[in-house]
Structure 1
Amino acid sequence: MRNFCRNMMIVFGFACLVGCQAYQGENILHLQSNDNSLTAAVNEALLNNQELAPFRFHVETVSGMVYLSGYVKTIRQSDTAEALAKKVPGVKSVENNIIVRK
């Protein structure tokens, strides 16, 4: 009887661990999907701005934090890109790594 109870506890514990891992996997997929949506929304905002449309930017999003990189001609353009990214709903913060190059 003791062996049976011990074995059942082991099986139950293992099942709980597997269930927790599956739930965590779903959360990671949801975060990745949300990050992809944010990246697309930021890219769209940058492309729709006439001042920034001629420039190419790299946008990466990790857990709601947006990383911008690329090249522009003025500080104002860099600031505009950052401001546009911050306005996108769901963006938690923006790290602006855009380089001003004349």
Structure 2
Amino acid sequence: MKHTAATLALSGLLAFTAAGCAITRDQSTVGEYVDDATITTRVKAKFAEDPAVSAMAINVETLRGTVQLSGFAKSAAEKNQAEKIARGTPGVKGVKNDVVVRP
């Protein structure tokens, strides 16, 4: 019995410690994380549908509704189209376009 109680106490302590570390200043809440993941998925799906944008060459990351684009585009037109798509995606608050044009 003591072994089981000790195991449960340790498990509870580890869960409490892990949960305590999960939410600190400057980190997203669970809801924000889910929203950001949804936005990222939507932007990537729109990239895949657009023949002018290479979904494989442009990376998408979202934090608190701001989408960051990175990677490489074959032209300024592709870079601009990627930004336009991202800005037109529901839930996007802002776009940081760090895509580099490399022919």
- Residue-pair matches, total: 78
Shift of 1:47: 0.9
Structure 2: segments with no counterpart, 5+ residues: 1-19
Return the alpha-carbon distance in structure 2 between the equivalents of residues 73 and 53 of structure 1: 9
Q: Is the 8 A contact 1:85 1:94 kept in 2?
A: yes
How is 1:1-102 mapped onto 2 (pairs within 5 angstroms)?
A: 28-53=29-54, 55-102=56-103
Which one has the largest radius of gyration? 1
- Greater shift after overlay, 49-58 or 78-87? 49-58
Structure 1: segments with no counterpart, 5+ residues: 1-21
Paired-residue identity, %: 29
Cα RMSD (Å) of the superposition? 1.8
Return the alpha-carbon distance in structure 2 between the equivalents of residues 80 and 68 of structure 1: 12
Superposed structure 1 runs of 4+ greater than 6 Å apart: none
Higher helix share: 1
Please, what TM-score do these two structures have when normalized by structure 2?
A: 0.70
Please, what TM-score do these two structures have when normalized by structure 1?
A: 0.71
